[in-house]
Structure 1
Amino acid sequence: MTALALAAPAVDGPAVNGRRVERAARLALLGELACFPKPGLVSFVDAGSHADMDATSFLRSVIGLSGYFHDMAAAGAAGAGFAALNRIGRVAEVAMFRATGGVNTHRGAVFALGLLAAAAGAAGEGAGPDELCALVAERWGAAVLAARGDEQSHGAAVRKRYGAPGAREEAAAGFPTVTRHALPAWRAARRKGADPATAAVQAFFASVAALEDTNLLHRGGVEGLAHARAAAAGFLDAGGVLAPGWHARALAVHRGFVARRLSPGGSADILAATLFLLALAEG
């Protein structure tokens, strides 16, 4: 338990195992970081399209967030509303920025995985990925949309300029990109023999192809988003990770994103959410 626990009710009984939720979230964040090729994004291999962060930044961030997901599960189990969850999340963001020296490594994941952790606490043991995503929409969706976000954020600027939905709309709808695209892609790849890490690449490409990623709009505008989605769809249409030579094709997409300075951060959060739900489901 960390100082974050002071912001939430301390509930960790039969209905919720906060330590299990915390462990699943940490595995998900590390799994997202390890995923490669992951076009445009930071991994243990390189920093992608980013000059201000690297894998070490993300590892520091994961450590800085210790206790947060446990506390969100406890708050969910205690029936907390979105305002209470948001306060815990704001404390976690401060911890993240302190750990990284002011670099935004996991702000989207703090939001998405935090809500899913709260849903896991509210639902108790045995709830599956679809149930947890639906519970986020049912319990907190309206409040998520009604809440005032950071109007200085890149997401807010993109929403104002392009009218594109962002992380709040994704969460309020029950994470449809997770349930309809990333998670099915991961499962299909696994059924056909891919190992979990390779299946994560497939899930990531499926998310990029489907999501109207505000990070891509911010960096590349409409053309950048269209290029990224077309490149991801082309990779999948060619067989994705199940086709011979897939790694070289995925790496070529990655290098193309880096050349254009494209960074699909929204899809990174979708992948992290997918891996979190899988970690919970598999125990």
Structure 2
Amino acid sequence: MAPAVAVRMDGETARLALACLHAELLLYPKPGLVSPVDNGSHTDMNAATFMRSLLSLRHYFAAICRAGAADAPFAELRQLGVLAERRMLLATGGINTHRGAIFCLGLLCAAHGRLRAQGQAVDAAALRATLLRCWGGALAAHASVISSAATTTGPASHGALVAHRHAAAGAREEAALGLPSVFEVGLPALHGALRAGRPMQAARTDALFALMAHISDTNVLYRGGAGGAALVRRTARAFIDAGGTAHPDWLASAVAAHRSFVRRRLSPGGAADLLAATCFVHAVLP
């Protein structure tokens, strides 16, 4: 691939990734999560914090796209993620805003770069197959090492600790399986709402609630334990069973869920990261 073409490709991919993170931030109501309307369940971050974090990642998404295009091994992708996390923490004063997104959205950027470099058509199945073919084995080994670390030398993150304590699948296990929550839950919910004629904001809300109902969110488990996680899944499932955003009172229901989560300090950040990843996959489809 010619250098000029490669630069255009990685720049385009990075812009899409940033746009998807921004779309996730702007979405409201978004139970327990930060938006421009309020800080959700958080006292240490707001929308401005997320914007600083988001902007700190612009070069990372381009770099990991280039690495994917060059068929870089997982160790190289991981190092890019480590550096991106350091920049994020520097931009936010030590607050973790996008650690999960750095991981899952970064991998999707790498897979997108790989497909484009090979001149292959980009679709959901090809993205997932590329993740598994190129880095699936290394991702599985990485997830196993992190899980073991949580039982010996101490957790690498809050997510690693609660994933071990509650036998929950964290971001690394999700990635090792080719992001099934994105491709099998978030994306079908998003596309179903769009096919029904609902606007993009409503479709993203449906996708978020579908993800909340499906995943074992380590952010929720850390803050609210098993009881909090059950409440999140139950609330999300009730919203979906009522018709989601097709229900005439969906907005009031979503706001009520938001207020309930804030009272209990619950924040489904893992679902938010996967929503951004879902939006990215949708954005790169032809």
Instruction: Say yes or no: TM over 0.5.
Output: yes
In structure 1, distance between residues paired with 2:182 and 2:26: 19
**Residue identity in the other structure for 2:230:** A
Q: 1:88-103 counterparts in 2 under 5 A? A: 88-103=80-95
In structure 1, distance between residues paired with 2:40 and 2:126: 34
In structure 1, distance between residues paired with 2:20 and 2:125: 17
Matched with 1:36 is: 28
Which of 119, 131, 134 is matched with 1:136 structurally?
131
Matched with 1:261 is: 265
Once the two structures are TM-superposed, the CA of residue 171 in structure 1 deviates from its matched residue by 0.7
**Residue identity in the other structure for 1:208:** M
**Residue identity in the other structure for 1:20:** E
The 1:32–1:210 alpha-carbon spacing in structure 2 relative to 1, beyond 3 Å, is same
Once the two structures are TM-superposed, the CA of residue 15 in structure 1 deviates from its matched residue by 10
Whether the 8 Å contact between 2:56 and 2:91 is mirrored in structure 1 is: yes
Matched with 2:152 is: none
Matched with 1:54 is: 46
Moved over 4 A (4+): none
In structure 2, distance between residues paired with 1:62 and 1:188: 28
The 1:138–1:15 alpha-carbon spacing in structure 2 relative to 1, beyond 3 Å, is farther
Which of 234, 240, 246 is matched with 2:244 structurally?
240
**Matched residue pairs, number?**
273
Matched with 1:3 is: none
Q: 1:62-101 counterparts in 2 under 5 A? A: 62-101=54-93
Please give the per-residue CA displacement for 1:229-274, whole angstroms capped at 9, x wherever unaligned.
0100000100100110110001101111111111111101110001
Once the two structures are TM-superposed, the CA of residue 278 in structure 1 deviates from its matched residue by 1.4
In structure 2, distance between residues paired with 1:98 and 1:133: 32
**Residue identity in the other structure for 1:105:** T
Report the RMSD for the aligned CA atoms in angstroms: 1.7
Which of 122, 129, 146 is matched with 1:127 structurally?
122
Matched with 1:277 is: 281
**Residue identity in the other structure for 2:206:** Q
Instruction: Show structure 2 runs of 5+ residues with no match.
Output: 150-154
Instruction: Show structure 1 runs of 5+ residues with no match.
Output: 1-9
Whether the 8 Å contact between 1:16 and 1:74 is mirrored in structure 2 is: no
In structure 2, distance between residues paired with 1:35 and 1:12: 35
Q: 1:191-210 counterparts in 2 under 5 A? A: 191-210=195-214
In structure 2, distance between residues paired with 1:112 and 1:31: 16
TM-score normalised according to structure 1 size: 0.92
Q: Which moved more, 1:143-152 or 1:154-163?
A: 143-152
In structure 2, distance between residues paired with 1:16 and 1:146: 33
Q: Which moved more, 1:200-209 or 1:186-195?
A: 186-195
Identical counterparts, % of pairs = 48
In structure 1, distance between residues paired with 2:237 and 2:4: 43
